[in-house]
Structures are given as structure tokens and as C-alpha cells.
């Protein structure tokens, strides 16, 4: 089982002729909404990769439809509680080239509960994983609980906060960042990637692929990206991370897990939306074939 303490957002998408500049007002050409949040996206990706995932999170009373969508995607939603705060939401502007700007209201994502997390771990074992991102509260407590059980802990360090990453590093099996975040972290800590105090580091590089760094063996494995025509890049990193952790939990090698994750991310950017754009395992295997 992969336990995912993760954000749950209502995403509102606005198609724009271009992204607005400071002080500029532009009319959107289309609007839609759906399930999102880095945590929810990664749970959907894990489930569609064929792994078991239990989502731990919070929504407001206005967010039950999002829980229903998570369940429909194959996630176990027993660890989700109803908060007194409104459900988190994101405003996503997407231009004609598929690039985006995003504004997030955290809401119930910052109202997690240690007792809720502990209860969700009731059946956890050392063979399980904990997946974290930087959009919820109580990440450190969850990581400490997982360490006590002997679980592997994977952390997507986004939205990036160097202090939050530094607090979590001693508890991690896998740190996941993009190129910009990796540069910010190595500068903040004064250490190169291969000298970070974590066993494995996964750095995603968009169209340039991804690098897996084993800091114990001082080895790096690079995986190229697949060439596609992007429609919407929102959520591609979450698709990659969810598929990668799912593959590792299923016993795949880092190289195999990352190649499958790269294919899933490539498919996702050819579709609009976030969670809705994440492909099934059947689609990914057909793409690879």
C-alpha cells in the first residue's frame, strides 16, 4: 500500500490567449473545473499505475464531490476527513502553448490531524510507502510515524520551501524535485545533489527527462523524455511522481519505473486537465509498445 498524505483541490481552469502580465486583465476563452491538488493527482497516478493507494487528507463540506472522484479513480478514501475550513482550490490559467500560471488557496489542506494520520496507518507494514508533498500540514509527524513502522518515505518538495525540505530529509528514502527546486536546495544547503543526506534523489527536467541519483553508490541514471505535442502541462510532474513511486513499490528498478513514469507524463500533457488527464496503465503500456 502507498499511503499519501496529500492535498485535495478543486481546480478551475481558464484557457487564455496568453498568460497575463503584471496589472493586466485578459478574457479567458474557455473555463472548466475538476479534481486536482498535488496530492490528489499523485494518488490518481498511483491508482492508475495499478498500485494500491490510501489517500489521507481533508476537504470542507463543499468538497465531497472531490472525494467521490478520488474513490472513482481507485483510491482508498477512508483516511479523508471533513474539515470546518473550505476545500482548497486552484485557479489555473493555461496559454495556447500549454504553459500555465497557478494560484492556490490551501483551505482544508492545512487542517490535517495527527490522530487521523495515525488511524490511517493502523494496517501499515514495513513493505509500504508514504508519499508526501508540500501542500499539507503535519508532513513531519507523518514521516516520523512512517519511520517508526519502517516504511519507505517519498517526498515531492513542491511548492518548494528549503526549510521544510531540510526538516524532512532525515526521514526520507526518496526526495523528488524538479531542476529549479534542486538548484534552490543545493544552494540553500551548500551541498551537491550526490552529497544530500538522503538515499535517493529524483530530479525531473521536463522535456529533458529525469535523473535518478543514488547517493550511497554515487551513481546517476538518466531517463529521456518522450517527444509529444503538449496541450496542457499542468500536473505532468505529479503524474510522473505518482507513476514512479508506484513502480518502485511494485518492485521495478529505478530505470524501469522512471521510463514508465515518463510515458505516463508524456500522455498526460497531450490532454487538458490535471487528474482527468492522467492515463491508465493500459494506455501507458500501449504507448511504450
Write out pLDDT tens, residues 172-226: 999 999 999 999 999 999 999 999 999 999 999 999 999 999 999 999 999 999 9
Label residue 150 left, alpha or beta by phi (over 0 means left) and psi (-120 to 50 means alpha).
left
**So what's the pLDDT on residue 273?**
82
Is a pLDDT exceeding 90 seen at residue 7?
yes
pLDDT band at residue 97, thresholds of 50, 70 and 90? confident
Is a pLDDT exceeding 90 seen at residue 99?
no
**Burial of 22 from C-beta contacts in 10 A (0-12 / 13-18 / 19+):** exposed
pLDDT in tens, 67-96: 999 999 999 999 999 999 999 999 989 998
Grid coordinates of 187: 544552494
Q: How far is CA 181 from the centre of its chain?
A: 14
Q: Quote the CA–CA distance of 277 and 195 in Å, as a whole number.
A: 36
Whether 6 contacts 40, CB under 8 Å: yes
pLDDT band at residue 154, thresholds of 50, 70 and 90? very high
Is a pLDDT exceeding 90 seen at residue 2?
yes
Q: Work out the percent of the chain whose per-residue pLDDT is above 70.
A: 100
Q: Which residues contact 77 (CB under 8 A, 6 or more apart)?
A: 55, 67, 70, 71
pLDDT band at residue 100, thresholds of 50, 70 and 90? confident
Catalytic member of 76, 128, 238, 276: 238
**So what's the pLDDT on residue 258?**
98
Give this prediction's pTM: 0.92
Active site residue 238: yes
Amino acid at each position: 500500500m502507498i499511503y499519501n498524505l496529500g492535498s485535495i483541490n478543486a481546480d478551475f481552469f481558464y484557457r487564455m490567449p496568453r498568460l497575463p502580465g503584471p496589472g493586466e486583465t485578459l478574457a479567458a476563452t474557455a473555463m472548466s473545473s475538476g479534481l486536482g491538488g498535488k496530492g490528489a493527482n499523485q494518488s490518481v497516478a498511483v491508482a492508475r499505475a495499478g498500485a494500491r493507494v490510501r489517500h489521507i487528507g481533508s476537504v470542507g463540506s463543499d468538497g465531497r464531490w472531490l472525494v467521490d472522484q478520488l474513490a472513482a479513480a481507485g483510491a482508498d478514501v477512508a483516511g479523508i476527513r471533513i474539515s470546518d475550513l473550505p476545500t482548497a482550490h486552484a485557479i489555473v490559467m493555461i496559454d495556447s502553448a500549454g504553459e500555465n500560471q497557478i494560484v492556490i488557496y490551501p483551505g482544508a489542506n492545512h487542517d490535517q490531524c495527527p490522530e487521523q494520520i495515525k488511524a490511517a496507518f493502523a494496517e501499515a507494514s514495513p513493505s509500504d510507502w508514504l508519499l508526501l508533498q508540500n501542500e499539507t500540514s503535519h508532513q513531519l509527524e507523518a514521516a516520523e510515524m512512517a519511520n517508526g513502522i519502517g516504511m519507505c518515505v517519498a517526498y515531492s518538495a513542491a511548492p518548494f520551501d528549503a526549510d521544510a525540505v531540510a526538516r524532512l530529509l532525515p526521514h526520507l528514502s526518496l526526495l523528488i524535485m524538479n531542476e529549479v527546486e534542486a538548484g534552490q536546495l543545493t544552494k540553500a544547503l551548500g551541498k551537491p545533489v550526490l552529497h544530500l543526506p538522503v538515499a535517493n534523489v529524483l530530479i525531473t527536467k521536463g522535456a529533458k527527462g529525469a535523473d535518478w541519483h543514488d547517493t550511497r553508490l554515487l551513481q546517476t541514471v538518466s531517463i529521456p523524455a518522450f517527444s509529444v505535442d503538449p496541450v496542457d502541462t499542468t500536473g505532468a510532474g505529479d503524474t510522473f511522481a505518482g507513476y514512479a513511486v508506484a513502480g518502485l513499490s511494485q518492485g521495478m528498478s529505478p530505470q524501469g519505473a522512471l521510463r514508465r513514469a515518463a510515458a505516463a507524463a508524456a500522455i498526460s500533457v497531450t490532454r487538458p486537465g490535471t487528474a482527468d488527464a492522467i492515463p491508465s496503465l493500459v494506455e501507458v503500456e500501449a504507448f511504450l509498445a
